[in-house]
Amino acid sequence: MKQKETLLNIRLNGDKIELSDLLIDEMGDNHVSTSVDTPMRMDAFELSDAEKVKKIEKHFTAIMEALGLDLTDDSLKGTPHRVAKMYVKEIFSGLNPANMPKMAMFENKYKYNEMLVEKNISFYSNCEHHFVPIFGKAHVAYISNGSVVGLSKLNRLVQYFAKRPQVQERLTMQIGKELQKVLGTDDVAVLIDAKHLCVASRGVEDDTSSTITGYYGGKFKEEKTRSEFLRYLEMKTEF
């Protein structure tokens, strides 16, 4: 028997459109992304952080009440505020361009013109389809064209783009493109290996798989350079 679709009516720019539950689920389960840039409204930053926390707290209270939870319980009554503060100040803080790390550049006075690799950068993000965690390791490399950036800034850049609702393909490209812009070179590579709890804890419930995505620019499109980068990632460098 054909599965029955439930139609949802929504409005986009004043026009009514219909999306089915099945289509919505399919987009999420198939990891669909709509653009390289994180979709944001024009008025995204008209509210202050404090106003956003207050608004989210109100709505999360409604969610918990709809689930039947007793918010008078000592353990639960502070949860809406904690969640709202966490969303704005922590796990989604990368939505605000004001939180972009300062990427101070330095002249490459020692003339190091080989590949630099920062591997095993830990990050935590959230799937934009189900708002559950994505976590894993990012590996970043570049070849200087005359300027270098502090190593910790590579970690901070990864974490900045991770701290927003994400799709792994978009996260990989955002890191790579921003590094190219900051460093003034196309010779940038990014590889991400991550676990998605939208796969592990719901849906197919596969706890063993991980997702790998890569971004290669400039010299890293050449087999020799890309292979060198991948060999570095295989080296055992844990101390």
User: Which one from 57, 139, 178, 196 is the annotated catalytic residue?
Assistant: 196
Average pLDDT (125-154) is: 95
* Pair (140, 81) in one structural domain: no
**Active-site residue 159, yes or no?**
no
Residues 221, 114 share a domain: yes
Looking at 128, 159, 174, 178, which residue is catalytic? 128
The answer to whether residue 225 is domain-embedded is: yes
pLDDT mean over 89-107: 94
Determine, yes or no, domain membership for 215.
yes
| Same-domain pairing of 111 and 229 | yes
Please confirm, yes or no, whether 81 is among the known catalytic residues.
no
Do 123 and 224 reside in the same domain of the chain?
A: yes
Mean pLDDT, the chain, rounded, equals 89
Is 174 an annotated catalytic residue? Answer: no
Tell me the per-residue pLDDT of 22-78, one tens digit each, with 9 for 90 and over.
555 655 566 556 678 999 999 999 999 999 999 999 999 999 999 999 999 999 999
Q: Kindly report the CA angle at 122 between 119 and 127, in degrees rounded to 5?
A: 125
Inside any domain, residue 138? yes
Residue 9 belongs to some domain of the structure: no
Residue of 166, 174, 178, 198 marked active site? 198
Note down the domain range covering 75.
41-91
- For residues 138 and 66, membership in a common domain is answered with no
Q: What is the CATH number of the domain that holds 129?
A: 3.30.1130.10
- Asked if the structure places residue 85 within a domain, the reply is yes
160-189 residue pLDDT tens: 999 999 999 999 999 999 999 999 999 999
Residues 56, 108 within the same domain:
no
Higher-confidence residue: 51 or 4?
51
> Taking 60 as the threshold, does the pLDDT of residue 17 lie above it?
no
Looking at the fold, whether 50 and 117 belong to one and the same domain comes out as no
Same domain for 124 and 81: no
Strands 7-12 and 15-20, sheet pairing: antiparallel
Domain assignment of residue 144, yes or no: yes
The pLDDT value recorded for residue 29 is: 61
- pLDDT tens by residue, 197-215: 988 788 778 888 899 999 9
75 and 164 in one domain? no
pTM: 0.85
Is there a single domain that holds both residue 126 and residue 79?
Answer: no
Catalytic residue status for 128 = yes
Q: Residue 87 sits in a domain of what CATH number?
A: 1.10.286.10
Strands annotated E in 21-168: 105-107, 115-127, 133-143, 147-149, 165-166
Is 234 a residue of the active site? no
Same domain membership, residue 112 and residue 66: no
Residue 5 has pLDDT above 50, yes or no: no
pLDDT value at 12 more than 90: no
CA dist 45 → 36, 59, 90, 178, 207 (Å): 20, 19, 16, 21, 37
Is 210 in the same domain as 136?
A: yes
Nearest to 196 by CA among 126, 137, 123, 139: 126
Domain count, the chain: 2
| Residue type present at position 119 | K
